Structure 1
Amino acid sequence: MFSDITFYVKGNTIEVNEQDFLLGELTESCMNINDDQFHEIYFSFEKLKKEFPTELPEQEEYDKLKEEIFRIDSLLRVHKIFQVLGTPIETIKSYFENKSVLESWDMFCQLCNEYNGIIIDIYSFNVTINRFITQWIRNLKKCSPDDYAAAYYDFLFSPLAYKYIVNPLYDEGFIYSNTEFLSSLNLVPRETIEGSGKYVIAEYYHTSILQSFLKIDYLKGLMAGHSIRKCEHCKRFFLVTNGYKTRFCDKPSLEDPKFTCKQIAYRKTHTRDSNDNNPKYQTYKKAVHRIMRSCQRGTITEDVRDRLLSKAEAIYHTSATSPKYSDHEFEEQMSSDNLYKLCSIEPPKRGRPKAVKNENG
């Protein structure tokens, strides 16, 4: 049931239903429920509420109500966050097929109430954080956890906060709550990634409120240096993990999926992110520097250096000309372990090589 969301925060990742995601990744998915998609969900549910009977319905009317809530559920499940968290009806859909109106009506009413809460939370969170991102995060001169925290403080306690933060005064029936509804919070040892053999003391949470989950995922992400930005070209939200103020996302373009949105934006406007704000370029630059330093220390030969540099350049070229790698995936591709593996080279031992003693010394 959706009323039982359990998850673990582990450093810069979050574990949900035995799957690991970067902090902010599932929030990004929720925020990419665009206006048209939300309006279809919202107005479909409002229509269902208006037609909701005050007394126990006849079977035919009940079947129509069930079909409509199933359809609303399918609209939610298009989005990654609800594929991961599940939805209220996911585990009990078959229950309604085998029960009479009398047996299942109370359960159905409870189910509809849960969808009502989900829809309220999507609107309240998405609209509020959209304003925070576009009017606070976007204008930061520096992007670090300290800067993100200060921006969120200024946002919450701004004299005009009542206009920016969704509240019942301006948005009837909707509210961005400053109180997190958590059933429990514990600290438990947890493997960073299943099978890695590495452990952290993870924060275990249990909640039944979507908004509480989203705020923990998003705000913990800010404290890990992750930020969600809005692409100036396609208007989709995307996750940035290294504090770069990149203007365009690296998702497959809506116009031509063979290219990234960033590449299409440059073709149209001849405007590109500076290298200082280009995550892939900065990752590539760090990889080159790392390889060169290893050669200078004598831990790898010039031949190995050249092979690694050639492989890094080839991967960078692929990422710069196609949507094959997201920024995070490209960072993993450029890791030392992966480059050595791709070149079939045994990684050198850590540290400087021992100096050779002079036999005459």
Structure 2
Amino acid sequence: MPLGIQQNNNFLHLTMDVWQDQIFFNETVYPAGHFAAELLNVPDETIRELVTHGGAISHQVEALALAGRGEFIKLLGGTRASLEKLLDALWHCPPYSLMDKGQEQHTLEVLFSPASHNDLLKPASPVRDFFFRYLVAAFSIPLGIQHFAVAARYFEEGYLRRLKKRTETFFAMAAHDCFNSEWFWNMMCDVPVPDVEPFTITPDLRSSYVFARHPKQEKETVFVNRYFFDHAISFYIFDLMNGLQHGHAPSRCCGCGTYFLTTNGHMPKYCDGIAPQDPRMTCRQYGAMMRQKEQNKQHPVYRLFTTRTNTIRKHHQRGKISDELRNEALYVAESLRDKALMDNDYAANGYAKDMEQESIYAQARARIARENRP
């Protein structure tokens, strides 16, 4: 059977198959650390919305636990509405965004149907037990997402971003320093409801083995670690740590601000997404172009070219030269610049003299005269 099959991921349980430096979720392969990095791209507004709906459900849980039959049934409508709003927001967060939302909506249909009322009101009923576990998960998952996002963003900004190398050893040292820092844990104590779904470097999980078809060799079978998580934050923490072990870590793009996963020892500043500054380029391409422009500014050939062309434009703006002379002078300056970039001897010996302002104008006037000659 293929990797990631029969995981039965749902609102209460998440499952991940791990093989080498890859993870499998619902039969799809990702690099280790993928979900930990992707969660950091969930907008703060979405996380606040999740926590708000989760907070409403936590109050409804208390009321339902103490309510008599009539009050209990009356409270169900509001509780279901809160759950539906929560699911709408949660399905924008990975890995929930990859799961079957219809399955969860069907669960709500069954739980809140009149046919379930009697079972929900029986103290020892399995249906009642499942119902309250579902509600507890509903207000816990948003807090787990928020707590992990706060911790991982702090880790990336304060530690990972400063590393000289992005290898397992350097990641391990960064994790040790961050997660043993008094500043870090003081910050985590200040997050909303810090005791529910707290961040920890020892996530709660269960593991087993499954046997699956080798991802590349169909005739071979491999042992695969299957991990089970009853808490969302444990899923993300494990994915972060497993990724770091394999040299994978989140990094924030200097161009668009998106978090992306690095999977080698390189020190990338930019992602491969579309650059917000120019939709024709990726952030990586745009960053390379801007770096080249910055380097060009320091190049002596470009410095002189920039000085002369700025003067030509100012002379034109002040009416000292005509449109025709301006265009020809700029053409001459560009031609001399390109020649100097291609010929080091010319750049060292003849370029500065030819780029004198009056020399450029003389060459431009000569071009105009030739073009206008009958």
Does TM-score exceed 0.5, indicating one fold? yes
Cα displacement (A) at 1:140: 0.5
- How many residue pairs get aligned? The number is 270
**In 2: Cα distance, 1:14 partner to 1:194 partner:** 14
Cα displacement (A) at 1:160: 3.1
Is residue 2:23 matched to residue 1:7? no
> Which residue of the partner structure matches residue 180 of structure 2?
157
Normalising by structure 2, what TM-score? 0.63
- Give % identity: 19
Work out whether residues 89 and 111 of structure 1, in 8 Å CA contact, stay in contact via their aligned partners in 2: no
> Which residue of the partner structure matches residue 122 of structure 1?
145
Match of 1:142, SS? coil
Cα displacement (A) at 1:178: 3.1
Larger Rg: 2
Cα displacement (A) at 1:129: 1.3
**In 2: Cα distance, 1:104 partner to 1:194 partner:** 48
Work out whether residues 5 and 85 of structure 1, in 8 Å CA contact, stay in contact via their aligned partners in 2: no
Given the superposition, is the C-alpha separation of residues 135 and 42 from structure 1 closer, same or farther in structure 2, using an over 3 Å criterion? same
> Which residue of the partner structure matches residue 146 of structure 1?
169
Given the superposition, is the C-alpha separation of residues 80 and 176 from structure 1 closer, same or farther in structure 2, using an over 3 Å criterion? closer
Match of 2:15, SS? strand
Matched AA of 1:67: A
Is residue 2:227 matched to residue 1:205? yes
* Unaligned ranges ≥5, structure 1: 275-361
Match of 2:269, SS? coil
Work out whether residues 23 and 217 of structure 1, in 8 Å CA contact, stay in contact via their aligned partners in 2: yes
Work out whether residues 272 and 283 of structure 2, in 8 Å CA contact, stay in contact via their aligned partners in 1: yes
Is residue 2:127 matched to residue 1:111? no
> Which residue of the partner structure matches residue 22 of structure 1?
31
Work out whether residues 192 and 199 of structure 1, in 8 Å CA contact, stay in contact via their aligned partners in 2: yes
* Unaligned ranges ≥5, structure 2: 1-9, 122-127, 295-374
Given the superposition, is the C-alpha separation of residues 194 and 255 from structure 1 closer, same or farther in structure 2, using an over 3 Å criterion? same
Work out whether residues 275 and 282 of structure 2, in 8 Å CA contact, stay in contact via their aligned partners in 1: yes
**In 1: Cα distance, 2:74 partner to 2:154 partner:** 44
> Which residue of the partner structure matches residue 296 of structure 1?
none
* Greater helix proportion: 2
Cα displacement (A) at 1:265: 5.6
Correspondence 1:85-234 to 2 at 5 A: 89=104, 92-96=107-111, 98=113, 99-104=115-120, 106=128, 107-164=130-187, 166-167=188-189, 172-174=194-196, 175-183=198-206, 185-193=207-215, 196-234=218-256
**In 2: Cα distance, 1:176 partner to 1:86 partner:** 27
Post-superposition Cα deviations, 1:79-124, rounded to whole Å, max 9, x if no partner, equal 3311335679356233135334443463433212012221121122
**In 2: Cα distance, 1:55 partner to 1:66 partner:** 16
> Which residue of the partner structure matches residue 91 of structure 2?
77
Work out whether residues 9 and 15 of structure 1, in 8 Å CA contact, stay in contact via their aligned partners in 2: yes
**In 1: Cα distance, 2:155 partner to 2:176 partner:** 11
CA RMSD between the two structures = 3.1
Given the superposition, is the C-alpha separation of residues 117 and 44 from structure 1 closer, same or farther in structure 2, using an over 3 Å criterion? closer
2:51 aligned residue (42, 54, 70) = 42
Normalising by structure 1, what TM-score? 0.65
Post-superposition Cα deviations, 1:219-278, rounded to whole Å, max 9, x if no partner, equal 1111212111012232221111112211122123457655433445667xx24799xxxx
Cα displacement (A) at 1:154: 1.4
Post-superposition Cα deviations, 1:2-21, rounded to whole Å, max 9, x if no partner, equal 33333221111111222221
Given the superposition, is the C-alpha separation of residues 159 and 86 from structure 1 closer, same or farther in structure 2, using an over 3 Å criterion? same
Cα displacement (A) at 1:40: 1.2
